[in-house]
Structure 1
Amino acid sequence: MAESISLSPRIIDQIKEGKAILFLGAGASYGCTSLNGERKALTGAQLGVAISDKFLGGKRNLEALAKIADYATSDSSVLDVQGFIKQIFESIEPQEFHKLIPLFKWKAIVTTNYDRVVEKACEQTPARIQNPLVIIQDGDLRAIEDTVNAVPIFKIHGCISRVADTNIPLIIANEQYAKYQNGRSRLITAFKEMAKDHPVIFCGYEIADPHIAQILFSLENGFQDRPSYAAINPRFDDLDRRYWGKFKMETVPATFEEFLIHIDQQIDSKSRLLGSILSRPAGAMSRWLKTNAMPSHNLQAVISGRLIHVHHEMLIENPNPMNFYRGDSATWAPIKSGYDFDRNITSQILANIRSPNTDPKLVLIKGHAGAGKSVTLRRVAWELSGSSINCFCFFCDTSLKGVRDILDELYELSGERIFIVVDNGLFDAVALNECYVAAKKKQIPVTFIVAVRSNEWNSTNGMMKLIAAEEYSLGDLSHDEADMLCTLLEEHGCLGELKHLAHKDRVDTLMSNHERQLLVTLHEATLGADLRKILRDEYRNISPLEAQILYLDICSLHRLNVPVRAGLVSRMSGTNFIQFEERFFSPLEKVVSAYSDWRSKDFAYKTRHTEIAQIVFDEAFPSPADKANQLVRILSVLNSDYSSDSEAASKILKGRVIADDFADRSLAERIFESAEQAGIDQGFVFQQRALFELKHPGGSAIRALKFIRLATRTSEFHSSYKGGSSQRSSASQGHRTIISS
């Protein structure tokens, strides 16, 4: 039967590339039993009969499961019914075909089943491609960044592993169906965001199931712009095919087992997205490893995610010199093409790069925003990996979280000193600190070359254990640097207004602004106008209007120096990633770029530079009321289970900043209230409200004390209930020092 299954090439390709979402219902566990065969996975109707026999003396056993559960929980209790369900399902084991699931990479697995069949299938498959991360309630998704090579398993109706918690009950009775999003709203939101850009494959469902239909149709707004979905059910016929085809849903008449066997036959194991860095025997990575050395899946995941192996055979997009000289420095194409000029500190760093011993080493590069740190770092990494120096080099422009745990394996496999070049080193100062301390403790020869903003380093270094062996400052342009830059601008046709001047006068023009940010100087010298006016006109000239709004939303978030998740932007503007590629790539090509963010496992957007994003934001929202409206709009769609969204909320809600920006306290209160309504951690919000009261001219010490007490009470409650987020942790610690602030 598996041979006769017909799946579109598009769906097959998405599964092969690890972009599909597997959505499993009760039929996916059909036929599963306990090891001794005494228990079996029950259908909904069979579970209803079992509950009726246990709690109702066999009465009403022909009613719907939800109705039977209503009566049972009324006569007994929610805990008793949930405990009984756990007894039924906890010994159920996966069948052999279930162990094909972890041999593919999935964007996510979603299920309404209470059992642990999928989790057990992953645990019992040593060759699994991903590590399962079970998501049952709001807050669980935060662990995805700490779980290397994770596949989130969304248990949207609960799980037998957590039946003792009545705050997150199993969704079985009608009352629970009506309130099923309580404690799960961010979980459901995360799934719906994914489903706008990734194909969902429904298996083991009767699509007519009212709750499944509700989920399905909630995804149908703008379904023309989402990928095609698929549903697997052995009873599908032509009527189903014609009906669901209207909603971009392929219907496949097959069992779940037949579906898994089919894709296993159709997709060669070597072509599945393993996150493998050794897919070619002579690949750039393999030459650094000892003979027959094979990295673990965790190491492969880190190197294909947060760490980029730098080598001169990297796949690089076509370079665009104009974009580069206007501030887009986040790619390798300009470096490979030689668009950058030699900074004085580059040769100094490279000359001192060798270490005579195996001690870890920290090299620090400091500079103000827009000084050219990112370009300098990429040039250093590129030269390190070249044939003349020939170092084992990696690049990271986000967080080093998880890298600490693979350093010793990476060194053991290679036997080489490891160079890790880190842009924006204080983005996750804790992870950087942990990596450095671990390398020191284990005597792993690692050289960290880290760029930071000078002011941020000065304010945080006292709390860290980082001691730089070498420290460099990226200062103003020298005359020689300005001369080289003018030569490059001329060579690549990017002189702009400077083309009317002789070469010496071009250099003098750049040097006349040598104390300005390099980013600002380049814009103003080549375009012949004030940077704010340049960016304001550029923003106003973007069309259509939807593209202009999309750009502004991205600027509003990227100015905070956080990844701008495509799912978040989709909720703000209604534009999913597919629409961005098809409709808005051209009008935004010069000002926005997209990339895959390993942290959120989502696509993300960024502008050319955070400083440019801040200027556009300021110019678009000149009045405090306009600015407040945009901040409220952003806060209303943030999902704090994603660290980037949580970080954005933390930066938007800083009490001192809000006190400075909003003289009208009613605007500030709107911002704080919208954060509370959006589910941002209350303890953190209360802490920031207290700071606002202490710093605002119209603030009140009495109100500040009230919010301090609320923050303390909220943090203590969450600490006793379940661990906390970074916001929650800062709230619980911050209230102790808030008065002295």
Structure 2
Amino acid sequence: MNNGILEAIKKGELILFLGAGASFGCTSSSGKATKMPVELAKTLAVAAGLEYHGETLDVVYEAAQEKLGVRLNRILEDEYRHTKPSRDYEILSKYSWKRIYTINIDDGLDHALIRNSEQNISKFIASDPVEIESRFFEKLQLVKLNGSADQINRGLIFSPSEYARAAESHNPWYSTCASDFVRSPILFIGTQLNEPLLKFHIERYQALSGESPGVSYLIAKDATPIQIQSLKKYKIEFIKGTFSEFVSWLKDNLGESLSPMDLAYASMPQLRELKSSRDPEKFAGLFDAVLPITKTSVGVNDAEGANAIRDFYKGFKPGWSDITKGVPAELAILGDAKSYINSICPVKSHFLPILGPAGAGKTTLLMQLCWYYSQSSDWSVYFLDAEPVSFIETLVELERTSASPMVVVAVDNIELMVEGIKHVLESGRLTKTLIIGSERESTWNKRGRHVLAGLHLTPCRVSEFTHDDASKILEKLKLYGSWTRLGKMSHAERISELVRRARKQLLIALMEATLGRGFEQIIESDYNGITSSDEKLFLAIVAVITDRRIEAPVPLLDRALDKVGILRRAVSYVDDLAGIVHMTSAGVSARHPIYARYLIDRVIDPSITAKAINGILQAFSDYRAPVIQNVSKSEAALYKSIINHRFLFDVLKGSEALTINTYKNLEKKFESDGLFWLQYGLSLRDFQRTDDALDKLRIARDAYPMPHTLHALAQQLLKSAEESSSRAVALALSEEAKEILEGLDDVISSDDTYPIVTLAEGHTKVISKHVSELEARSLANKYSLVLGIRSKANPQHERLRIAYERLFNFAATGIINY
């Protein structure tokens, strides 16, 4: 063994991959030692009446299937189900792990883990939906790639033909295993190097040669020089030993056990600053998306060399190392924001929006404020990378455990967390926390300002920079950016160049001033310089996700690539597309959302965008339905955003064929996911396919009857009723819609369209067309009374007022103004 393995285990980075030898010492339900591959091959040959001449298990198994039929399953169940764990398994199960893959079908390890492990055990076979990792190691994923003796009816993978079928079907856990091989060190143990499934994986990894960030390991009794050299090609280091020796080594170096919290604290050192809790595991879960802003947590690592041109000056968002080293200039808006915040101190419970156009420097300002206040003992500062599982409880615990008199909690995307921000502010449970969030002003005006009406301070607006700012920016550019072109100009010319370019946004000004070309030309040149169609597709996938202002998680990217037939992993594309895409610990992104949107709108062919979206959505289909309940909040936000009918209509340029086929080609993949069917139905509505839309929205209701799905169905029922040529059908549909909407009226609080608005306007239209104007006006009068009361109680909601005026006017004059 070696220190590399030990450190990877302690940090929660190591993944186990167990072969047949790891089950040595287990006993079957009959009390006999469980059979190893050679012994099982002999047993199957005898049972099938076949002469055995030393053939490997996979060959014998395939032949025996023909002879034995269902009797083969009974033999395997007798041998490998209800297995008693070996002593080695009993010891191994007392340690916590990131993940365990095994090609063994016996349940010896299963029983040992259930009995001894402090982690909750989730067992999967290769075709099961993927589940997200538990960041704090409270859950252990045991993945049985060959199948499991207690689930034989779901299939086993032993023979060559079964391996081929498994590869062809893109089983979710195969893709995940391939991604793990690149991202994490894997310890292969208990294999003789000639097992078919291991060969299958090694061949699969061949495309990844040289791309893994670190070394993986294989422990085996022996290996020939040729085998050892072959392993080196894949960065697998051979270690002579046995499974029993490995387990003994664990005890000698780690003691009797290793708890999930040991791994959590090692993998996230900042938790040690936040652990004053009676229930550490529950407490830790609250901080899944929290980054404490301190010198130790953000001020150490710097991947870019001291003399390199910083990515920030190539158009990427700043990293924390940029902020701590002062790479972005401190503009006048930073001083203004500090003065404003200081003027409201000591804080009680406030929310400060930072608003401006895309690329104006909102994120940079937000991070600079965080770093500035983190230097003061009066403040504890935290940055949320994504929405926590419980927004309220997380912020309450941050405030409770912070010794400082004031707390800053920063979010870079208000839209994704607007409901959480609203609830925590309304709760009254915070007394010293200032929440600061950045958002595009257009997005804020559509939703944020309505939801948070009366709950926020006067926004801080980031827009044009001053001439003094331009001088500061040029000083930083000279130190950290490309100075070749600007260095040939006089100072006055540089100022003029930067200010003139900045009529767009700061980001664009910096790129255009340093490169001397228009923003559009820069992007088109970047894309046209890519010669590989696979690289263009990869960039399209990343651009789609970046446009949603989320960094693409590497495992999700790897699965998306796999779904579109690309075995190469994401990390290798990042290297090849350096300067166009960028990878951080959170994931991969294109230069900037503005850059990504221009690529999608003006450069990438919509058919490539459609293929990219298909790959992303197929990657999500590996999770259980409903997807949004089985992924992290940030991935749930990404899924909801990409599957949205308006988004697809937009990025696919209104193409009915591309948009509808995107949904149609995924019907089986998402047949149990209500959100998929909801967006599918709404997309069909966009293209005036009324009957199809109603059909899909009924499926959505059956799959997952959440309030917004029922609302959409009721809207479609009223639309179908209005368009129907049959009075009886129309009245039946409208009554069905009326029943749904009346039931929803007290459930949905909306800044868009209330159920009462949908009902009042839609029902009146149906009655006007299919019954009489007189009866419709009488109905409109009843609805206008309800809408008038509701509008007075909610004066900030313009949609209620408009609906009231429409219905009132129709009742009075007989004129419908829609």
Instruction: Return the structure number with greater relative CO, CA threshold 8 A, min gap 6.
Output: 1
Q: Following TM superposition, by how much is the alpha carbon of 1:376 offset from its aligned partner in structure 2, in angstroms?
A: 1.2
Question: Residue 93 and residue 665 in structure 1: after superposition, are their counterparts in 2 closer, same or farther (change >3 A)?
Answer: same
Q: Which residue of 2 aligns with 1:262?
A: 249
Q: Following TM superposition, by how much is the alpha carbon of 1:138 offset from its aligned partner in structure 2, in angstroms?
A: 6.0
Question: Which of 142, 146, 154 pairs up with 2:143?
Answer: 154
Secondary structure in 2 matching 1:393: strand
Contact 1:560 1:648 in 2 (8 A): yes
Matched, 1:576 2:563: no
Question: Residue 175 and residue 229 in structure 1: after superposition, are their counterparts in 2 closer, same or farther (change >3 A)?
Answer: same
Question: Residue 677 and residue 191 in structure 1: after superposition, are their counterparts in 2 closer, same or farther (change >3 A)?
Answer: farther
Point out the more displaced range, 395-404 or 509-518. 509-518
Contact 2:415 2:448 in 1 (8 A): no
Q: Which residue of 2 aligns with 1:397?
A: 385
Question: Which of 273, 279, 294 pairs up with 1:311?
Answer: 294
Pairing of 1:439-450 with structure 2 (within 5 A):
440=427, 446-450=433-437
Pairing of 1:352-371 with structure 2 (within 5 A):
352=343, 354-355=345-346, 360-371=349-360
Q: Which residue of 1 aligns with 2:176?
A: 190
Amino acid in structure 2 at the alignment position of 1:672: Y
Question: Residue 636 and residue 144 in structure 1: after superposition, are their counterparts in 2 closer, same or farther (change >3 A)?
Answer: closer
Question: Residue 465 and residue 535 in structure 1: after superposition, are their counterparts in 2 closer, same or farther (change >3 A)?
Answer: closer
Q: Following TM superposition, by how much is the alpha carbon of 1:310 offset from its aligned partner in structure 2, in angstroms?
A: 1.0
Question: Residue 11 and residue 365 in structure 1: after superposition, are their counterparts in 2 closer, same or farther (change >3 A)?
Answer: same
Pairing of 1:218-367 with structure 2 (within 5 A):
218-223=204-209, 225-226=211-212, 229-234=216-221, 241=228, 249-262=236-249, 265=252, 296=280, 306-313=289-296, 314-317=299-302, 318=304, 323-338=311-326, 339-342=328-331, 343=333, 345-352=336-343, 354-355=345-346, 360-367=349-356
Secondary structure in 1 matching 2:585: strand
Amino acid in structure 1 at the alignment position of 2:171: S
Matched, 1:204 2:190: yes
Q: Which residue of 1 aligns with 2:107?
A: 115
Point out the more displaced range, 534-543 or 362-371. 534-543
Q: Following TM superposition, by how much is the alpha carbon of 1:731 offset from its aligned partner in structure 2, in angstroms?
A: 6.2
Question: Residue 393 and residue 183 in structure 1: after superposition, are their counterparts in 2 closer, same or farther (change >3 A)?
Answer: farther
1:97-136 CA-to-partner distances (Å, cap 9, x unmatched) read 644566465365445445263675477355xxx7654445
Question: Residue 265 and residue 565 in structure 1: after superposition, are their counterparts in 2 closer, same or farther (change >3 A)?
Answer: same
Q: Following TM superposition, by how much is the alpha carbon of 1:632 offset from its aligned partner in structure 2, in angstroms?
A: 4.8
Question: Residue 610 and residue 122 in structure 1: after superposition, are their counterparts in 2 closer, same or farther (change >3 A)?
Answer: farther
Q: Following TM superposition, by how much is the alpha carbon of 1:374 offset from its aligned partner in structure 2, in angstroms?
A: 0.8
Q: Following TM superposition, by how much is the alpha carbon of 1:187 offset from its aligned partner in structure 2, in angstroms?
A: 2.4
Matched, 1:453 2:401: no
Point out the more displaced range, 541-550 or 484-493. 541-550
Pairing of 1:613-692 with structure 2 (within 5 A):
613-621=596-604, 623-625=605-607, 627-628=609-610, 630-632=612-614, 640-641=622-623, 650-659=640-649, 661-662=652-653, 664-676=655-667, 683-692=674-683
Contact 1:82 1:170 in 2 (8 A): no
Secondary structure in 1 matching 2:662: helix
Question: Which of 513, 517, 525 pairs up with 2:505?
Answer: 517
Amino acid in structure 1 at the alignment position of 2:679: Q
Question: Residue 298 and residue 25 in structure 1: after superposition, are their counterparts in 2 closer, same or farther (change >3 A)?
Answer: farther
Secondary structure in 2 matching 1:523: helix
Pairing of 1:554-573 with structure 2 (within 5 A):
554-567=542-555, 568-569=557-558, 571=562
Q: Following TM superposition, by how much is the alpha carbon of 1:375 offset from its aligned partner in structure 2, in angstroms?
A: 0.8
Secondary structure in 2 matching 1:470: coil
Contact 2:670 2:676 in 1 (8 A): no
Matched, 1:468 2:455: yes
Contact 1:691 1:704 in 2 (8 A): yes
Contact 1:321 1:334 in 2 (8 A): no
Question: Residue 375 and residue 243 in structure 1: after superposition, are their counterparts in 2 closer, same or farther (change >3 A)?
Answer: closer
TM-score by length of 2: 0.67
Question: Residue 593 and residue 215 in structure 1: after superposition, are their counterparts in 2 closer, same or farther (change >3 A)?
Answer: closer
Q: Which residue of 1 aligns with 2:25?
A: 31
Amino acid in structure 1 at the alignment position of 2:695: K
Amino acid in structure 2 at the alignment position of 1:386: Q
1:245-267 CA-to-partner distances (Å, cap 9, x unmatched) read 67665554433121133356568
1:449-508 CA-to-partner distances (Å, cap 9, x unmatched) read 222333334444489689634242324225476456456456647577666777677666
Q: Following TM superposition, by how much is the alpha carbon of 1:609 offset from its aligned partner in structure 2, in angstroms?
A: 1.1
Q: Which residue of 1 aligns with 2:802?
A: none
Question: Residue 629 and residue 415 in structure 1: after superposition, are their counterparts in 2 closer, same or farther (change >3 A)?
Answer: closer
| Root-mean-square deviation over aligned CA pairs | 5.3
Question: Residue 414 and residue 341 in structure 1: after superposition, are their counterparts in 2 closer, same or farther (change >3 A)?
Answer: closer
Q: Which residue of 1 aligns with 2:745?
A: none
Secondary structure in 2 matching 1:590: coil
Contact 2:286 2:393 in 1 (8 A): no
Q: 2-side partners of 1:40 and 1:458: how far apart?
A: 71
Secondary structure in 2 matching 1:468: coil
Q: 2-side partners of 1:119 and 1:432: how far apart?
A: 44
Q: 1-side partners of 2:458 and 2:32: how far apart?
A: 65
1:560-609 CA-to-partner distances (Å, cap 9, x unmatched) read 323323342564655436645xxx63x64433321223xxxxxx212231
The structure that is helix-richer by fraction is 2
Amino acid in structure 1 at the alignment position of 2:646: R
Q: Following TM superposition, by how much is the alpha carbon of 1:392 offset from its aligned partner in structure 2, in angstroms?
A: 1.8
Question: Residue 210 and residue 285 in structure 1: after superposition, are their counterparts in 2 closer, same or farther (change >3 A)?
Answer: closer
Q: 2-side partners of 1:44 and 1:327: how far apart?
A: 57
Q: Following TM superposition, by how much is the alpha carbon of 1:331 offset from its aligned partner in structure 2, in angstroms?
A: 0.7
Question: Residue 300 and residue 146 in structure 1: after superposition, are their counterparts in 2 closer, same or farther (change >3 A)?
Answer: closer
Contact 2:286 2:389 in 1 (8 A): no
Matched, 1:609 2:592: yes
Count of aligned pairs: 684
Secondary structure in 2 matching 1:672: helix
Q: 1-side partners of 2:530 and 2:351: how far apart?
A: 43
Q: 2-side partners of 1:193 and 1:308: how far apart?
A: 25
1:51-86 CA-to-partner distances (Å, cap 9, x unmatched) read 99xxx9x9979996788899888479x8x9999789
Secondary structure in 2 matching 1:329: coil
Tell me which structure has the larger Cα radius of gyration.
2
Q: 2-side partners of 1:146 and 1:264: how far apart?
A: 25
Secondary structure in 2 matching 1:561: coil
Q: Give the gaps of 5 or more residues in structure 2.
A: 53-59, 624-630, 720-752, 754-818
Q: Which residue of 1 aligns with 2:815?
A: none
Q: Following TM superposition, by how much is the alpha carbon of 1:22 offset from its aligned partner in structure 2, in angstroms?
A: 0.6
Contact 2:581 2:589 in 1 (8 A): yes
Amino acid in structure 2 at the alignment position of 1:564: A
Amino acid in structure 2 at the alignment position of 1:115: D
Secondary structure in 1 matching 2:317: coil
Contact 1:558 1:564 in 2 (8 A): yes
Q: 2-side partners of 1:625 and 1:278: how far apart?
A: 45
Question: Residue 480 and residue 425 in structure 1: after superposition, are their counterparts in 2 closer, same or farther (change >3 A)?
Answer: same
Amino acid in structure 1 at the alignment position of 2:362: K
Q: 1-side partners of 2:245 and 2:391: how far apart?
A: 39
Q: % of aligned pairs identical?
A: 17
Q: 1-side partners of 2:647 and 2:12: how far apart?
A: 42
Amino acid in structure 2 at the alignment position of 1:592: V
TM-score by length of 1: 0.73
Point out the more displaced range, 205-214 or 494-503. 494-503
Q: 1-side partners of 2:668 and 2:367: how far apart?
A: 42
